[in-house]
Amino acid sequence: MKLGFLTACLPGWSLPRIAEWASGNGYEALEVAVWPRTGGRDFEASHLPVADFPAARAEETLALFAKHDLELSALAYYENHLHPDPERRAEIRTHFKHAVDAAAALGVPYVGTFIGRDWTKPVADNLREAERVFPELVDYAGERGVKVIIENCVMEGWHPDGYPGNLAYSPELWEWMFSLDLYLNWDPSHLTWIGIDPVKTIAPYIDRIVHAQAKDVELGSGDIDRYGFFGKAVDRPDPWDNGWWRYRVPGLGQVDWARVVDRLYEHGFTGTLSVEHEDPVWGGTEEKVAQGLKIAHRTLRPLVIG
């Protein structure tokens, strides 16, 4: 197992700067963000220009990672493949294929993304649509030696009422998506706040957990007794603010990392545990983000033997 992090938390840093910092601070791998530079979400990061990725760029990138003794664990493009706007959906599909092409050129085994959801339609209709959309993407990736990995993030901010916007948040939905030959980028933080014990989900699905993200969650940081499980309903100007929990870096929330890592080892996980930094306390400036990554490393390094 290797300890890495997702580069999206440092959108203003270049990939060479991130690689140097990661290596110098004890990380062994990077999950590289590859959103296009003209994206729509404020946390999008573009650390590899996959839409324009000649052979020389691939050689340069591989040399950078070799120089710093780092592994490139996955490319990250987490977008909504079931977006209700057909033009936006087509843009996402095209860029996802660029990411797959770049992964193939680099010898990277995984490209991470979301199932997503058309929030104007019920779940059943979305599942049938995904069964139409994803086989082409899985085949495209498979022909190039790349697996498609899906993060189990709820993406409640994508839904106008704060309901799940990514239909991959529970083991029931994992079993459905595995039938499409998709794999899992497993993240315990999302499971924790929706009431699922993350440790109990490792053994049954370990054959599909090929990459894992390390993010923590602090429950009780707001008022669940006022808002209820689904969060704010009357006044929710920020769709991501549900009013009763927040993400934290590993070690500052409720996830039991000793149990998580031990269970991953027990069942033979040999992939990358990649810190996903979305902690509002250790965010806002590059200096604070870097400190948050150091806190995560201090929590996880004694557990991840390598």
Domain coverage including residue 283: 2-300
Beta strands 209-214 and 272-275, pairing class: parallel
* Predicted pLDDT at 42: 46
Q: What average pLDDT does range 246-269 have in this prediction? A: 98
Residue 59 lies in a domain: yes
pLDDT at 232 over 80: yes
What's the number of domains the chain is made of? 1
**Rounded to an integer, what distance in angstroms lies between the CA atom of residue 81 and that of residue 103?**
19
Q: Find the largest Cα–Cα distance for the chain.
A: 56
Amino acid identity of 278?
E
Put simply, whether the predicted model's pTM sits higher than 0.85 gets the answer: yes
**Rounded to an integer, what distance in angstroms lies between the CA atom of residue 96 and that of residue 136?**
12
* Predicted pLDDT at 306: 67
**Rounded to an integer, what distance in angstroms lies between the CA atom of residue 286 and that of residue 5?**
15
* Predicted pLDDT at 44: 73
**What would the pLDDT profile of 113-164 be if each residue is shown by its tens digit?**
999 999 999 999 999 999 999 999 999 999 999 999 999 999 999 999 999 9
**Cα-Cα-Cα-Cα dihedral sign, residues 169, 31, 10, 35:** negative
Chain-centroid distance of CA 97 in Å reads 18
Query: What does pLDDT average to over the chain?
Result: 96
**What would the pLDDT profile of 176-197 be if each residue is shown by its tens digit?**
999 999 999 999 999 999 999 9
pLDDT at 227 over 80: yes
Q: What average pLDDT does range 7-12 have in this prediction? A: 96
Residue 48 lies in a domain: yes
* Predicted pLDDT at 81: 98
Residue 305 lies in a domain: no
State the virtual CA torsion across 255, 295, 271, 76 in degrees, nearest 10: 100
* Predicted pLDDT at 253: 97
Residue 152 lies in a domain: yes
The CATH number linked to 279 is: 3.20.20.150
**What would the pLDDT profile of 30-43 be if each residue is shown by its tens digit?**
999 999 986 555 45
Residue 306 lies in a domain: no
Residue 133 lies in a domain: yes
**Cα-Cα-Cα-Cα dihedral sign, residues 255, 260, 261, 264:** negative
Residue 132 lies in a domain: yes
Q: What average pLDDT does range 228-232 have in this prediction? A: 93
**Rounded to an integer, what distance in angstroms lies between the CA atom of residue 43 and that of residue 9?**
7
Residue 216: its H or E element: strand 216-219
Residue 34 lies in a domain: yes
